[in-house]
Amino acid sequence: MNKTELVEKIAAGAGLSKVDAKKALDATVAAIKGALKAGDKVQLVGFGTFSVTKRPAREGINPATKQKIKIAAKKVAKFKAGAELADAL
C-alpha cells in the first residue's frame, strides 16, 4: 500500500474528503517525526511504539573492494508492534 492508497482508505473509513485525509495523515507523520527528533517515544495503544535507538560505530567491508571501512554511529527509528496489531497478523 502506498501513501495515495492509504489516504483513500482513511477518507473512506472516517468519512472525510481525500484532501482532509491527506492533511490528517501528513500532520500525524509530522507529529511523530517531531517527537522522535526531540528524543521522545510515541506510543499508540493497540498499534505500537515508535522510538529512537542509537546504533554504535562498527567496522564493515566494502563489497566492491573487500577493504575494511568504518561505519559511523547513528540514530535510527524503531517500531515495535503492539499486542493488538501482533495478534491481528
pLDDT at residue 74, rounded to an integer: 95
Instruction: Give the dihedral of Cα atoms 88, 37, 30, 83; nearest 10 deg.
Output: 10
Q: Three cell numbers at 5?
A: 492508497
Give the start-to-end residue ranges of the domains of the chain.
1-40, 41-89
Question: Which whole number is the average pLDDT over 16-37?
Answer: 95
In the CATH hierarchy, which top-level class contains the domain 41-89?
few secondary structures
- CB of 29 closer than 8 Å to CB of 37: no
Global pTM value: 0.78
For the chain, give the percent of residues with pLDDT over 90.
94
User: Mapped to the 3 state alphabet, what secondary structure does the chain carry?
Assistant: CCHHHHHHHHHHHHCCCHHHHHHHHHHHHHHHHHHHHCCCCEEECCCEEEEEEEECCEEEECCCCCCEEEECCEEEEEEEECHHHHHHC
pLDDT digits (tens, 9 = 90+) for 44-87: 998 999 999 999 999 999 999 999 999 999 999 999 999 999 99
